[in-house]
Chain A
Amino acid sequence: MAHDILENSGFAADRKLNIVGTNPIKHDGWDKVTGAAKFSSDVILPGMLVGKILRSPHAHAVIKSIDTSAAAKLAGVKAVVTGADFPQIKEGTPYGDMTRMVMAQEKVYHEGHPVAAVAATSESIAKKALKLIKVEYEVLPHVIDPVAAMQPDAPILHSYMRTKGAKPGDPKVSADRPSNVVERYELGVGDVEAGFAEADFIVERTFDTKPMHQGYIEPQSCIASCSEEGEIELWCCTQAPFVYRDRLSEILKVDGSKIKVQQSELGGGFGGKTAFYAEPVAIQLARKTRRPVKITFTRSEVFRGTGPVSGTQSRIKIGCKKDGTITAADAELIFQTGPYSGSAFTNAPQAMFTRYDLKNVRTVSYEVVSNRPKVASFRAPCVPQVVFGVEGIISELANKIGMDQIDFRMKNAMANGARTIYAETFGKIGFIETLEAAKACDHYRSPVPKGQGRGISTGFWFNRGGETSSTLNVAPDGSVTITIGTADVAGSRISISMMVAEELGIPVDKVRAVLADTHQLGFNRVTAGSRTTFSQGVVLVDCARKVIKEMSERAARIWKVPEEGVEFVNGSFRPAGANVGEFKPLTIADIAKQTTNSEGAIAARSDMNVTGAGPGFGCHIVDVAVDEETGAVEIKRYTVVEDAGKAIHPLQVEGQFQGGAVQGIGWALNEEYIFGEDGKMQNPGFLDYRMPVASDVPNIDTIIVEVPNPRHPFGLRGVGEVPVVPTMAAIANAIGDCIGIRPQSLPMSPPRMLQLIQARNAAKQ
């Protein structure tokens, strides 16, 4: 269906704004500061049982048999399920793999892979029951490292798997024999050899990044119930209630209309709550027992059983002329994905160089399975890992030709109308403005303090739109409820409410956003990729315009004038000119009060696949100090500069910048999955998997650049992904500036920094 707003957003740069651009208190905030907000594990239902999952102690094994009889007999145990209790779907198909990640069938593929589950009247009984389940395994050789997994003699996870996109002549893959390489993906433009031939300087390096966990503080929790008629109700923390419903429908073979998914408040997601884990298990247990079943993960289960991000190994080569013009770029990228595909790795080659206007680019990417937990999305999936390398080389080239770091990037910057290697032609973009703001800011202009180093890096994310279905209802008193089916990952409800209030000319306090269950709206795509505030802005402004039109018609009928005789200005309907007649202006509340009973509710819905997301660009500046005795890196000063298009709620935008940067600091300096020889994760807790705490980081300065996206009614661009993209590269560049050798692998933790410093000292001698 055609939607006018997608063709003409109505964006006007000179529009006077009363609400957009201010910082009202978010409506969900009150419940969150008083403890009243209901997160997933806060939901309690009468008669509920506790579900617990038995997990594999082995990284790779065949399940020979599972004996649940003793567990089932334990007093208080109401049901036990294994893979046999799920509909059988062929492995190697998307839903076949999905169901096997939820509950193993033929084999276990990583330590922590679920093999059985129980529902019992108490947690202690459920735990006791797990110990009574006897699983006989035939342990197989395992492989953790993706490069090792690509070797010809590596243990093969899936005997049926052949590499998609295998190319004759590429020794890493073959279409003829089983392989752990899921896919080979080539993307490029121009003639790379000719480009390098033109270069005066060429730098080629290899880089290594480790998987990090999204680290949301709320462990996954869900509660499922099943009516006597087989209707399923699921409460859970999710970024994707509609996607969960549809996938549950596929793997459990239940009509989507019989599954109601209700999102709770979401205690952090960052991409990690876009795929379900315990939810199908809780449903199967609830269907067996006809009682509500709640499953809440421990932190260890979160680490061992839910997706971290992909670790990568990459080789990147960039050449430039003496004047700074980049002539060619070449990259080979390897992404680990866990036992099955799902890393969204194609983002990386598409985004890694995008912001520089390159004519000759070649990228070859591989997605590789291994015996690790399956990866999940994280802010700008797979992009920060490879930008870590790209921006290291960019900085090195700038130093080689003696050019200012920002000038070098500016020299190659994409401008309006630039064409990407994935064949998109950009409209209005703000990369140059972002670089200009970075160059002009106090941090960049001030000298680097003695003993410290400074690094900069830039980043890009596509930003997304997508399927969005929402409703807007005007109550008879003129207050407005908006019902949304996307998740609120950090406070989007207030930003969305502000846009509605602005369009309707009413105070933001008169608008309330409700998080819908899946029975209430049409399909909404996952909340990810910085799509939600953008898409909901388009869809709900469309709804607001529809109700304004409806109310104009009603005003015309009240006044008995033609509809053209009514205009809507600053929240009220008034005669469009003196010749229409003298009428007292009517507010939205006036019309709602006067006409709801006689003419019916004032309401609108809008369902569309939103297009027109404006690309986002950022630039980070960081100063570090390195303690050469201990190897500890201290972040001394940090500035995030990013184009938001238009900051609807500036404090929220700053919060995205700051939060993304600090997640990146953790990834840069400490966070990694450590596996033993036995294939088991050795640090599945916050003590040993160390995320940044308040005393680890300084204040994060922010500069919001506003180059409006004309495809959005208020000019908005998504801001959630870009803030993490440049972080690790910027910190590594700063460390390089400080100690004279740039780290090329993550994390840049004290032991690794000491090795690097020793290597530097040895090279000097």
Chain B
Amino acid sequence: MKKHHITLTVNGDEYDALVEPQQSLLDVLRDTLMLTGTKEGCATGDCGACSVTVDGVLQCACLMLGVEANGVHVETIEGMAQGADLHPLQKAFLVHNGLQCGICTPGVLVAAKALLERNPDPTEIEVRYWLAGNLCRCTGYDKLIQSVLVAAKEMRGA
């Protein structure tokens, strides 16, 4: 199958990739660039495990074609920590047990970060509705939501 050349920036680094026309951005990230932190749970946009931001907008990487990603800036879970310094959300998830198996965690963290950039002081209900696109089967959401609220508070310096 004929492949298309794309250039994209992921977590500040520029990459070239040859992609088949039906491949998703998720396929490009995982299979071509070998950035496997972004997870596939459904490939239909229902579970949120592949949440990334594209030019600052939160998206399911499985719902965007790789060829559409030419020239875009993508942020993934791999770009969240600054070296050894974890993002406050990552720390909060560790301390408050916001994760169990961890498969949904990258997507949840990326989505939560996008929320806190728009709304630094969300209510619990706002967090629950914002993360309604991220399925988690382990935690029952309680500690996951609490972790986001703790991180938001810390980031506000409250």
Contact = CB atoms under 8 A, between A and B. Distances in A.
Interface of A: 23, 25-26, 28-39, 41-42, 44, 122, 124, 214-219, 265-270, 296, 298-299, 489-491, 651-652, 654-655, 658-663, 685-687, 691-697, 699-700
B62 to A, nearest CB: 10
Interface string B34-50: 11111111111011010
A296 to B, nearest CB: 8
B53 interface: no
Nearest to B1: A124
B155 interface: no
Nearest to A32: B102
Interface in B114-136: 124-125, 127-129, 131-136
B100 A659 contact: yes
B96 A299 contact: no
Contacts of A215: 135, 137
Contacts of A216: 101, 103, 137
B59 interface: no
B81 interface: yes
Contacts of A44: 34, 36
Given A33-B86, A124-B22, A267-B39, A694 B77 contact: no
B99 A35 contact: no
Given A30-B94, A699-B142, A268 B44 contact: no
Given A219-B40, A662-B140, A489 B93 contact: no
Given A30-B94, A32-B105, A695-B129, A490 B100 contact: yes
A655 B142 CA distance: 8
Given A299-B43, A693-B132, A267 B102 contact: yes
Contacts of B103: 39, 216-218, 265, 267-268
Contacts of A662: 139-141
A41 B42 CA distance: 13
Nearest to B20: A124
A205 B143 CA distance: 38
B94 A687 contact: no
Contact of B138 (A124, A268, A651): A268
A23 B96 CA distance: 9
B143 A658 contact: yes
Contacts of B106: 35
B66 to A, nearest CB: 13
Given A267-B102, A489-B101, A694-B134, A33 B42 contact: no
Contacts of B145: 694, 699
A265 to B, nearest CB: 7
8 contacts: A35-B35, A41-B30, A219-B40, A490-B138, A658-B141, A659-B100, A663-B140, A699-B142
Contact of A34 (B39, B42, B90, B125): B90
Contacts of A268: 101, 103, 137-138
B158 interface: no
Contacts of A694: 127-129, 131-132, 134, 136, 141, 144-145
A42 B44 CA distance: 19
Given A33-B109, A265-B102, A490-B100, A217 B47 contact: yes
Given A124-B1, A217-B135, A686-B135, A655 B97 contact: yes
Given A33-B93, A299-B41, A694-B144, 12 more contacts: A32-B99, A35-B77, A124-B22, A215-B137, A265-B102, A267-B102, A655-B139, A662-B139, A686-B44, A687-B46, A697-B141, A700-B142
B140 A35 contact: no
Interface string B47-59: 1010000000000
A693 B137 contact: no
B44 A687 contact: yes
Contacts of A697: 140-141
Contacts of B109: 33
Contact of B140 (A36, A39, A658): A658
B90 A33 contact: yes
B4 to A, nearest CB: 13
Q: Give the interface SS of chain A, mostly helix, strand, loop or mixed.
A: loop
B101 A266 contact: yes
What 6 A-B pairs are tightest by C-beta distance, nearest first?
A35-B37, A267-B103, A32-B102, A662-B140, A658-B140, A686-B46
A25 B136 contact: no
Nearest to A35: B37
A320 B155 CA distance: 58
A39 B1 contact: no
Contact of A33 (B105, B127, B139): B105
Contacts of B140: 655, 658-663, 697, 700
Interface in B76-104: 76-78, 80-81, 86, 90, 93-97, 99-104
A531 B43 CA distance: 34
Interface in B16-32: 20, 22, 30
B144 to A, nearest CB: 7
Contacts of B136: 217, 694
Given A32-B102, A33-B94, A39-B103, A299 B42 contact: yes
B39 A651 contact: no
Nearest to A664: B140
A44 B29 CA distance: 13
Contacts of B124: 699
Given A25-B95, A267-B102, A490-B101, A658 B42 contact: no
A270 B100 CA distance: 12
Nearest to A44: B34
Contacts of B38: 35
B137 A691 contact: yes
Contacts of B37: 34-36
Nearest to B35: A35
A490 B133 CA distance: 22
Contacts of B141: 658, 662, 692, 694, 697
B26 to A, nearest CB: 11
Contacts of A693: 131-135
Contacts of A691: 135, 137
B78 A34 contact: yes
B132 to A, nearest CB: 4
A487 B57 CA distance: 37
Contacts of B129: 694-695
A703 to B, nearest CB: 14
Nearest to A691: B135
A495 to B, nearest CB: 12
Contacts of B96: 651
B142 A491 contact: no
Nearest to B87: A33
Contacts of A651: 96-97, 143
A298 B137 contact: no
B81 to A, nearest CB: 6
Contacts of B139: 655, 658-659, 662
Contacts of A30: 86, 94
B137 A35 contact: no
Contact of A39 (B39, B90, B135): B39
Given A651-B143, A685-B42, A42 B36 contact: yes
A25 B144 contact: no
A25 B39 contact: no
A655 B100 contact: yes
Given A39-B103, A266-B101, A651-B143, A686 B137 contact: no
A659 B99 CA distance: 11
A193 to B, nearest CB: 43
Nearest to A489: B101
A347 to B, nearest CB: 22
A489 B81 CA distance: 25
Most chain A Cβ neighbours within 10 Å, of B30, B90, B141: B141
A321 B101 CA distance: 47
Contacts of A42: 30, 36
Nearest to B27: A123
Contacts of B95: 25
A265 B102 CA distance: 9
Nearest to A685: B44
